[in-house]
Amino acid sequence: MARLVVISNRVPLPSERGAKAGGLAVALADALRPGSLWFGWSGRRSTRGSGTTHIQRSDGITYATIDLTEADYRSFYVNFSNGALWPLLHFRLGLLDFKTEDYGGYRSVNRQFAAALLPLLRPDDMIWVHDYHMIPMAAELRALGVTNRIGFFLHTPFVPPSIFNALPRSGELLNSLCAYDVVGFHTHSYRAAFLDCVAENFGVHPDPDGRFNWRGHAVRAIVDPVGIDADAFSEQAITAARGSDARLLRDSLSKGGLAIGVDRLDYSKGLINRFEAIGRFFANYPQHRRQVSFLQIAARSREEQGSYQRLRRELDRIVGDTNGRYSEFDWTPLRYMTRAVKRDTLAGFFRLSRIAVVTPLRDGMNLVAKEFVAAQDPEDPGVLILSRFAGAAEEMTEALIVNPYDSDEIAEAMHIALAMELEERRERWQALHEKVRTSTARQFCSVFLNHLGVPDTQPAKPRLRAIS
């Protein structure tokens, strides 16, 4: 079998296994077999930058990383990846901050990555590149003469041409995406948006299977939703729910129930709207006061950027206002923490929760929704409230689907969830659980690698737009 080479912005090094496992590491666990190579940034900044490739090996897998200079880190990661691409791909043009020098740094770092990876590659390697930080990677590798099969998966949403084309140099990025053999998305709507960009910008109309030719290169866009190992997560939840952390949480609730939200501290997660909804919930449905507490875990991220600092200040204000208005001496309506919590501990917390509120304004998939479902007790399951703009909503239609911009609608959904009869909760959970057990992380890897490993024998012929 061909060796799998994974490329991502950050590499989960075996020396860092004490830290919380990232979502990508969990998703790719089944694909990374002995002999695989994972390449990316070390997370370190140094004066020498990418002058040296650092190698670690564990369980037969090789982890190769390079350092970045402070200037490269700023332009590539902070300013362009997260200051321009992230807001663009989450439909937030008002937060997009483009500077030509940052775009140049983004391309330069991808070029450095490609040059550092080149000596490690073998002729039959299959290369799988992940996420928006690495869009130009295939183009840079092709420029160095690499002819291997290269696939790309985008873990964020993709946007229609009317939004994508607002980004300066968007045509160059779209051209870079077309240097891949396979381009993967979580949902049909994301893939459709990408293909619409190809059609509008390049005049090439893909076939119904997402295949097209661009400048002599055959490209296929696929839909491949990421999942979890539901059975393993369920076992983890059962064990964790009996553990000390879950017991402390349960005891602190007294006789009340638990509602939960788990997100990164990010403006795309809809946290301001959600916190406002919690206040509306306790105002509009006073019968639930003292009967339920909401726990929001929002691990800090990207704290260098002003938009995140402003978000945190606003959330602190809303929490203080809500708790000041509704708290009792022995009951707090909204508990809020910005420290990361281990995944197994979260599994136990999910199992204790009567509802989960997953209401991002936009999200690529959102595995919290799937983890909550997997963690539930089949005899007495909780209810999932899910944003219509999360990628997971395309699959998880039995959740209570809400508009995350409507705080009153979220508040009403919380009331409906808490008042829902056991029979309906079981019916909704059973349908959701079947989907979560079917759409697994293993299937995600298998589908993508099957497409990447087998070139189309009859690539689609380009259908060019008529020019008047």
Domain presence at residue 266: yes
Both 244 and 217 in a single domain?
no
d(CA 369, CA 139) in angstroms, rounded, equals 35
Which pLDDT does position 303 carry in this prediction? Answer: 67
CATH classification of the domain holding 305: 3.40.50.2000
What letters, b where the CB count within 10 A reaches 16 and e where it falls short, cover 306-325?
ebbeebeeebeebbeebeee
Beta bridge partners of 296: 261, 336
Task: Report, as an integer, the average pLDDT of 246-260.
Answer: 93
Which pLDDT does position 456 carry in this prediction? Answer: 59
Which pLDDT does position 19 carry in this prediction? Answer: 44
Quick check: 2 pLDDT over 50? yes
Q: Can you give the length of the chain in residues?
A: 468
d(CA 253, CA 184) in angstroms, rounded, equals 43
Active site residues: 155, 363
Domain presence at residue 468: no
Both 316 and 410 in a single domain?
yes
Quick check: 207 pLDDT over 80? yes
Domain presence at residue 466: no
Domain presence at residue 380: yes
Cβ neighbors of 322 (< 8 A, separation 6 or more) are: 275, 278, 279, 282, 333, 334
Nearest to 172 by CA among 152, 148, 197, 155: 197
Cβ neighbors of 247 (< 8 A, separation 6 or more) are: none
Edge-first strand order for the sheet with 4-10 is: 53-58, 61-68, 37-45, 4-10, 126-130, 150-153, 182-185, 217-223, 211-214
Domain presence at residue 460: no
Both 352 and 386 in a single domain?
yes
Tally the domains of the chain. Answer: 2
Both 348 and 410 in a single domain?
yes
Domain presence at residue 464: no
Both 118 and 215 in a single domain?
yes
d(CA 141, CA 179) in angstroms, rounded, equals 9
d(CA 450, CA 456) in angstroms, rounded, equals 11
Concatenating the DSSP letter of every residue in 133-184 gives GGTTHHHHHHHTT--S-EEEE--S----HHHHTTSTTHHHHHHHHTTSSEEE
Domain presence at residue 465: no
Quick check: 433 pLDDT over 90? yes
pLDDT digits (tens, 9 = 90+) for 13-27: 887 764 445 678 888
Which pLDDT does position 265 carry in this prediction? Answer: 95
Both 357 and 340 in a single domain?
yes
Both 219 and 264 in a single domain?
no
* Three-state helix/strand/coil letters over 292-343: EEEEEEEECCCCCCHHHHHHHHHHHHHHHHHHHHHCECCECCEEEECCCCCH
Both 50 and 187 in a single domain?
yes
pLDDT digits (tens, 9 = 90+) for 120-164: 999 999 999 999 999 999 999 999 999 999 999 999 999 999 999
Both 257 and 222 in a single domain?
no
Q: By three-state DSSP, how is residue 117 classified?
A: helix
Task: Report, as an integer, the average pLDDT of 89-95.
Answer: 96
d(CA 190, CA 224) in angstroms, rounded, equals 11
Both 81 and 189 in a single domain?
yes
d(CA 340, CA 320) in angstroms, rounded, equals 21
Task: Report, as an integer, the average pLDDT of 261-287.
Answer: 97
Which pLDDT does position 22 carry in this prediction? Answer: 63
Please give the residue range of the domain that contains residue 44: 4-226+444-453
Quick check: 326 pLDDT over 90? yes
Half-sphere exposure of 415 toward its Cβ, with a 13 Å CA cutoff? 19
* H or E element at residue 449: helix 441-453
pLDDT digits (tens, 9 = 90+) for 349-398: 999 999 999 999 999 999 999 999 999 999 999 999 999 999 999 999 99
Cβ neighbors of 316 (< 8 A, separation 6 or more) are: none
Contact 71, 105 (CB under 8 A): yes
Mean residue pLDDT of the chain comes to: 93
Both 295 and 432 in a single domain?
yes
Task: Report, as an integer, the average pLDDT of 68-97.
Answer: 96
Quick check: 240 pLDDT over 70? yes
Nearest to 350 by CA among 329, 323, 381, 327: 381
pLDDT digits (tens, 9 = 90+) for 379-393: 999 999 999 999 999
Which pLDDT does position 465 carry in this prediction? Answer: 40
Domain presence at residue 467: no
pLDDT digits (tens, 9 = 90+) for 281-306: 999 999 999 999 999 999 988 766 67
Both 207 and 251 in a single domain?
no
Task: Report, as an integer, the average pLDDT of 262-287.
Answer: 97
